[in-house]
A and B are shown apart, each in its own frame.
Chain A
């Protein structure tokens, strides 16, 4: 990336998506989605199949024009200044976009040429990504002959070769074995030190291990976007009440910081601290009929679990 572009990227949020919507044949796949991503942030985009994760990522990369809204990468509008915006973007699609006839090192070299790196830059960039993605042993092999895991890593190397400020990864752990997934998560953490990363995943474990933020998509809508602290103590609980209580009443309790309605009797709560005694006392005092209060590992995983179990109308308070 040129120094001028780098300087420009340093002054602006690396990713700004404003009010993005995307419709296919009149049906909304993504609705009014807004995101801002700063340097050193890793955003995990989670949701069920068909939630709009890949469509969102493709809009962020300029592979689908949004029906409404705008995407800016490093301050450059993807619609008005596509070349400058794309220069700062590395994208790993699912499955990775690879030319099977090329060897790994050739594919990296051509990708670097596409991003206008000169000969010396190409050589050093190639060595760097081969090492980062642990591809040295297969660098002269044709991509056609690679296993799924190596193909995925080659795709990641292509996304990294021009040292982009923003990295967009669609299911990066797909096809990787547990050891490779662990290495990938470690790599994402290292890469995030001087860039922003957004990736989609079905795996809550991956999201928990390397994300600083988690965004939850359901039916094309962003229903949750929250920061994760590295040493965050989760104070999330599943609450089941006998009585039907409104969200307003429950949210009025001083110990509740966040509230997600799963059905008329079931709630996911995030408490101000991880001690549930206060809320038990409040529920008993109000005589709402406490049936169960069980701790959740994480608010996102809880909501995702309920979505998997068929809950269709999950609202974040």
Chain B
């Protein structure tokens, strides 16, 4: 797994896309953060008059975290499409498949590299809060919880992306299918339909498990939801890699 990780992290870091996306992401996140801060400052007089007005942390988490989550999710298909689809197209996956490395090790190594990059991206979102913390008093614990939720969200999306990437040799098809699955899971939040007794479609959606975390509340059910998505998607990707070994890479 370490060798696969070493290979994958080099592949990701040596391409321009990772750095271009990081730069664009930081500009977008900083703009969102400054907009939320400016809005807070313009409303400060009104908030001060109310008995139960939100503090700066609550205000920022409510107005900055959701757009940040969406911006972070947009980077996932572009990163995850490279993990298997691009390697299959270029023929370099053969080197891994012929080596004495299990499909699970390949999957975990590739996912760990993807997770490292996404940790960096979530760190960029956190960086804006930390800069602000130098000038104002913020609830750092709530901010940390919100970013753990953000990380869980992007890691689930990355696992889904890896599975989609294992289904095709086309990077574009992989990126589109990942975006479609994430979008469907996001939009399911608007449905009130019941699947079974006590289980609504909404409860399977990404936003329903993200909301509490972004407000700074860590809920074990939400974390379990994201962990289940990650494990299921990685197992599917692993199974797909095993099939590629049996039936030929291309």
Contact = CB atoms under 8 A, between A and B. Distances in A.
> Which of B4, B11, B100 lies at the interface centre, i.e. has the most chain A CB atoms within 10 A of its CB?
B100
Contacts of B11: 99, 101
A61 B98 contact: yes
Interface string A37-81: 000000000000000000000100111110000000000000000
B245 interface: yes
B93 interface: yes
Nearest to A58: B248
A129 B7 CA distance: 20
A199 interface: no
Contact of A83 (B7, B92, B93, B100): B100
A93 interface: yes
Contacts of B96: 114
- Contact count band on A: 20 to 34
Nearest to A86: B100
A97 B100 CA distance: 16
Contact of B247 (A61, A64, A106, A110): A64
B100 A116 contact: yes
B246 A97 contact: no
Contacts of A62: 97-98, 245
Given A63-B98, A91-B98, A93-B91, A113 B245 contact: no
B2 interface: yes
Interface in B66-95: 90-95
Interface in A90-146: 91, 93, 95, 97-102, 106, 110-111, 113-116
Contacts of B184: none
Contacts of A99: 7, 10-11, 92, 95
Given A87-B100, A89-B98, A97-B94, A114 B3 contact: yes
> Which of B4, B7, B101, B247 lies at the interface centre, i.e. has the most chain A CB atoms within 10 A of its CB?
B7
Interface string A139-164: 00000000000000000001000000
Nearest to B243: A65
Nearest to B248: A64
Contact of B97 (A63, A87, A101): A63
Contacts of B249: 63
A82 interface: yes
Contact of A64 (B92, B102, B246): B246
A102 to B, nearest CB: 6
Interface in B23-55: none
Nearest to B2: A113
A102 B94 contact: no
Nearest to B95: A97
B100 to A, nearest CB: 4
B15 interface: yes
Contact of A101 (B2, B15, B94, B100): B15
B6 interface: yes
B247 A65 contact: yes
A115 B99 contact: yes
B245 A97 contact: no
Given A62-B97, A110-B6, 10 more contacts: A63-B94, A63-B98, A64-B247, A65-B247, A89-B98, A97-B95, A99-B10, A102-B10, A113-B2, A158-B95
5 closest residue pairs by CB, A with B: A113-B3, A97-B94, A114-B99, A65-B246, A86-B100
